[in-house]
Structure 1
């Protein structure tokens, strides 16, 4: 089953939901496609299981990290602290987790940008941890208009999804100075950059 999910994850990340068939997945695994029909009623069920497998891991890790952060800082919550906890905990999975996690990142960026059904998938898997982050940001910015905090998260999410997509565009624009694969570089910059943006739009 793990081989099937890994193969499907790679193909969905490269070609999207509509660009992959169960036969394509079976061929990559090296089995007859009837085996996949035994486990999955259709391609969408396979896609949902592929997405849910790692969504559970990253959501639970970030939720636990956010809870531990709030407990450890004794009420002195900062914008940078909340963002570092949320972003770095996730980026560490893509840095340390191998190609499978990077494939999942690409897949997530596709799902997040598919209005027809992707938004509902993101809602069902990630709303609790996102709202936990927003709760901490509101504690760090008690005078902020809630609308500004939500817009700030919207911008964070967009930057994270573009990063996970690994399009290679920044490689070309920078003439090789920056690499789409360099999640360590992103980790060293994103939280600080986003914190400055939150401060600018939220602090009166």
Structure 2
């Protein structure tokens, strides 16, 4: 599947040859269900997908999905959690490594690169599955009713670690400005991960919403300047 996938639903990846044990077979089927559900949820959201849709994409009866997952919300949570754990742990590790390397003198851009670039690398290098997850994450982050709870559960520790480093990098900056800066930064990240195609149209093709490499080259630098400016202007007022 290339990055210009049409709206027609493609088939899930070819089924691998079943392993010998029941545990291996169950694990294999679980991954196939999660992959199919991730693709569908990333395009149609929680309420736009049924278990029958997932079953059809996997090539089985919907009762099989119920055997693995109690209901659609349980399936959705499993889809989200599968990759949330990976990106959260990677970013926490990079933030901690950066903190140690900076020896108590972190910079705003250095902290942001540990947080943003580490995440963007997953979407650059991880294949279409990670791009699907990116779009799904953007949906969840913008769904107050139940999405905020998922984001809190999986990402609060790594976000607060970033905030800690930003405070160290800007010791005179009002704390609320650091949190607002994070708010603006994560908003830009979520819009990027959504890959809406809007920047493609506005720029006449000069920019592409799926060009995560271009985003990685610019975002941390751009956001660092924003943090620095709001803290400077507020301290002078």
Question: Above 0.5 in TM-score?
Answer: yes
Where do 4+ consecutive residues of structure 1 move more than 6 Å?
none
Following TM superposition, by how much is the alpha carbon of 1:159 offset from its aligned partner in structure 2, in angstroms? Answer: 0.1
Bigger fraction of residues in helix: 1
Radius of gyration: which is bigger?
Answer: 2
Task: Find the aligned partners of 1:41 and 1:192 in 2 and give their Cα distance.
Answer: 45
User: Does 2:115 correspond to 1:86?
Assistant: yes
User: Does 2:75 correspond to 1:46?
Assistant: yes
Match of 1:63?
Answer: 92
Following TM superposition, by how much is the alpha carbon of 1:201 offset from its aligned partner in structure 2, in angstroms? Answer: 0.6
Q: Secondary structure at the match of 1:167?
A: coil
Q: Secondary structure at the match of 1:189?
A: helix
Match of 1:196?
Answer: 225
Match of 1:152?
Answer: 181
Task: Find the aligned partners of 1:117 and 1:35 in 2 and give their Cα distance.
Answer: 26
Choose the corresponding residue for 1:4, options 33, 37, 41.
Answer: 33
Following TM superposition, by how much is the alpha carbon of 1:54 offset from its aligned partner in structure 2, in angstroms? Answer: 0.2
Q: Secondary structure at the match of 1:151?
A: helix
Gaps of 5+ in 2: 1-29
Within a 5 Å distance, the mapping from 1:45-194 to structure 2 comes to 45-194=74-223
Task: Find the aligned partners of 1:20 and 1:28 in 2 and give their Cα distance.
Answer: 11
Deviations 1:132-160 (A, max 9, x none): 00000000000010000000000000000
Q: Secondary structure at the match of 1:17?
A: coil
Following TM superposition, by how much is the alpha carbon of 1:202 offset from its aligned partner in structure 2, in angstroms? Answer: 1.1
Following TM superposition, by how much is the alpha carbon of 1:110 offset from its aligned partner in structure 2, in angstroms? Answer: 0.4
Q: CA RMSD in A?
A: 0.5
Output the TM-score relative to the length of structure 1.
0.99
Deviations 1:30-86 (A, max 9, x none): 111111011111100000000000000000000000000010111120001000110
Task: Find the aligned partners of 1:40 and 1:161 in 2 and give their Cα distance.
Answer: 28
Task: Find the aligned partners of 2:37 and 2:149 in 1 and give their Cα distance.
Answer: 21
Aligned length: 204
Larger RCO (CA under 8 A, 6+ residues apart): 1
Match of 2:66?
Answer: 37
